[in-house]
Chains A and B, each alone.
Chain A
Amino acid sequence: MNLTCRKVTEILVDFVDGSLPEEERDTLERHLCGCVPCAIYLRTYHDTIILTKSLPNVPLPPEFLTRLKTMFAKECGQQG
């Protein structure tokens, strides 16, 4: 069975999470060995995941945080 580059791109999500059936994975790996664009595409797909995962949380705006803490304290008081 041969995979087109488009088909390779479509199944990358299963490839990277390890859910691709073995036979399809072998076919995909063979394709990647012989196809430079797809090999680069896979690497940059993976890099996209790594970059996104590295995204830090931004701090809350200070005045909003103050407002939130006041509201929280007040609500906690009402809860008893």
Chain B
Amino acid sequence: MVSPTDEPLTPEVVFRDYVPRVYNLARRMLNNDADAEDATQDVLLQVVRKLDTFRGDAAFTTWLHRVTVNAALAVRRKRNRREEHRVHDPLENFTEEGQHSGFVRPWPKLPDNMVLDSEQHQLIEEAIGKLPETYRDVFVLADVQQLPNAEIAESLGLSLSAVKSRLHRARLMMRDALSRHYEERLS
């Protein structure tokens, strides 16, 4: 995420620094390009009304994230397309005694400055799209957008502990999904 620039919010700054993150956040939450476009459009209409009151600073980014989350949730409600992905619970991969029930295989070492190739990019986007919405929202805000847990809790109307527990569950699901790819690479 680009850090706030403290520049005046000219149309150029809005389209360069903020529109991409609005669109990408909405797209990842909604897992649908057309829905993401609707949400982005809603957000931009709200931005126009605020152009004079905000600069491109931290207060604006916080406000923008909240407005984007609300717009995405509103589009989701309107569509009423309950896409419930069934994902295996990673915490079931243990014996009754609490030991790992299968092999835990290592992945290849990641480079220090990780740059994803298009195959990895697609793989991760797909895995995010398959997370149940409850977990996906928190995961996208925390681990993709890098927002602080407190901000996420406020945006989604959750307690801090609920945010952390959903984030953890989402990471475990993501780890399982990515394992299929990264374990193979090693063998």
Which residues from chain A sit less than 8 Å from chain B, CB to CB? 4-7, 9-10, 12-14, 17, 36-38, 40-41, 43-45, 47-61, 64-65, 68-69, 71-73, 75-76, 79
Contact = CB atoms under 8 A, between A and B. Distances in A.
A79 B104 contact: no
A40 B48 contact: no
B19 A60 contact: yes
Contact of A44 (B15, B106, B128, B165): B106
Nearest to B98: A4
Given A45-B175, A58-B24, A68 B41 contact: yes
B88 interface: no
Given A10-B91, A55-B144, A72-B48, A41 B14 contact: no
B124 A69 contact: no
Contact of B104 (A6, A7, A41, A60): A41
Nearest to A19: B164
B174 A52 contact: yes
Given A5-B99, A44-B175, A50-B110, A13 B168 contact: yes
Interface in B16-60: 19-21, 23-24, 27, 33, 37, 40-41, 44-45, 48-49, 51
B126 to A, nearest CB: 12
A51 B171 contact: no
Nearest to B97: A4
B146 interface: yes
Contacts of B110: 47, 50-51
B105 A40 contact: yes
A36 to B, nearest CB: 8
A54 B171 contact: no
Contacts of B168: 10, 12-13
Given A43-B106, A76-B48, A57 B33 contact: no
A68 B175 contact: no
Interface stretch (B68-76, B78-86, B113-121, B151-159): B113-121
Contacts of B165: 13
B98 A7 contact: yes
